[in-house]
Amino acid sequence: MKIFAFADEAGSKISSQVNAMKRNGLDGVELRGTEYGNVSDLKPEQAREIKRTLDGEGLKVWSIGSPLGKIGINDSFGPELEKLKRTLETAEILDSKNIRMFSFYIPKNEPAEDFKNEVLDRLSKMAEITDSLHSGIRLCHENEKGIYGENDTRCLEILENVPEIYGIFDPANFVQSGVEALKAWELLKNKIRYLHIKDALPDGRVVPAGKGVGNLGKILSEFICMGGRAVTVEPHLAVFSGLSSLEREGERSQVGEVYEYPDSDAAFDAACNALKELIK
């Protein structure tokens, strides 16, 4: 297994993230936040500096944890395409073959199906640009509450209609969207590139892997049997710097409300250890 993590949950600085990954024996990072801000806002020289640091420690960037697609479906799309181009440049510098992305927030109290064509058109355009500029990089869609692809059936629509996009499976996000994770896995498993290791209770509160109702043990076992070898730990067990900027306005993730840890390092280590226990 190759185990990566959103190491910004251990610390905002790359040096802190390196320390967290090294002490947990991880292979690298799904890069999201740094001391320079969000990964999609990195300047080329900043990305090169991060690459040198990680290379020196024997760590790699598995995926770019971008916020692409985390805008309203009615918001202007032009700026998002420019962000995609910058993110592709960053991914190339960091030698990352994957970019995590989303499928746009849907207006509350409006049927998501009304926006299907616009969502698919936008995602197709993003895939077209990615293929034309950097054909070796994969866009990977993550299911998340509030976006078009928040449930299993709409995720399948995306992955079938835009086959250039791969799937990221996040069990906790399905639980928080009212979807049974194991049912979603059965529907989507043949189109999943990698897993986000995050678990949740029925009320949506995030807990260590294997402690919730996300059926992570069974899903992980099947993923490995199918040849899956890469996962990203996403702790969400303590509030970390930058979380609020990743949330939809007026909403807050239910993190660190069941299991309590003295600091972000302890929470990060607990998330990594929970995954290792599942693998055993």
Residue carrying structure tokens 């194991």: 182
Can you tell me the distance from the alpha carbon of 269 to that of 267, in angstroms, rounded to the nearest whole number?
Answer: 5
Residue reference for tokens 């040849």: 227
Q: Quickly state the pLDDT bin for 261 (edges 50, 70, 90).
A: confident
CB atoms within 10 A of CB 146: 19
What DSSP character marks residue 107?
A: P
The stretch 8-24 carries a mean pLDDT of 97
Instruction: Kindly tell me if the per-residue pLDDT of 241 is higher than 60.
Output: no
| pLDDT of 73 | 98
Q: What share of the chain has pLDDT > 90, as a percent?
A: 90
CA distance 198 to 145: 14
How many CB atoms are located within 10 Å of the residue 38 CB?
19
Task: Judge whether residue 156 has pLDDT over 80.
Answer: yes
DSSP for 147-191 reads BGGGSHHHHHHHHHHSTTEEEEE-HHHHHHTT--HHHHHHHHGGG
Residues 50-108: tens digit of each pLDDT: 999 999 999 999 999 999 999 999 999 999 999 999 999 999 999 999 999 999 999 99
Output the pLDDT for position 256: 47
The average pLDDT across 220-243 equals: 86
Query: How much is the pTM?
Result: 0.92
Residue type present at position 16: S
The mean pLDDT value for 103-116 works out to: 97
Q: Which value, in Å, is the radius of gyration of the alpha carbons in the chain?
A: 17
Average pLDDT over residues 106-116: 96
- Say which range, 138-152, 205-219, 230-244, 259-273, has the weakest mean pLDDT: 230-244
* pLDDT band at residue 248 under the 50/70/90 scheme: low
**Do residues 160 and 152 lie in contact, with contact meaning Cβ atoms separated by under 8 Å?**
no
Angle (deg, nearest 10), helices 264-279 and 14-23:
40
**CA-based end-to-end distance of the chain:** 11
Domain spans of the chain, in order of start: 2-279
Q: Is the pLDDT of residue 112 over 50?
A: yes
Q: Has domain 2-279 been given CATH number 3.10.20.30? A: no
Q: What is the mean pLDDT of residues 174-178?
A: 97
Share of the chain above pLDDT 70, in %: 92
Going 229 to 232 to 237 to 238, the CA torsion angle's sign is positive
Among left, alpha and beta (phi > 0; psi -120 to 50; other), residue 25 is: left
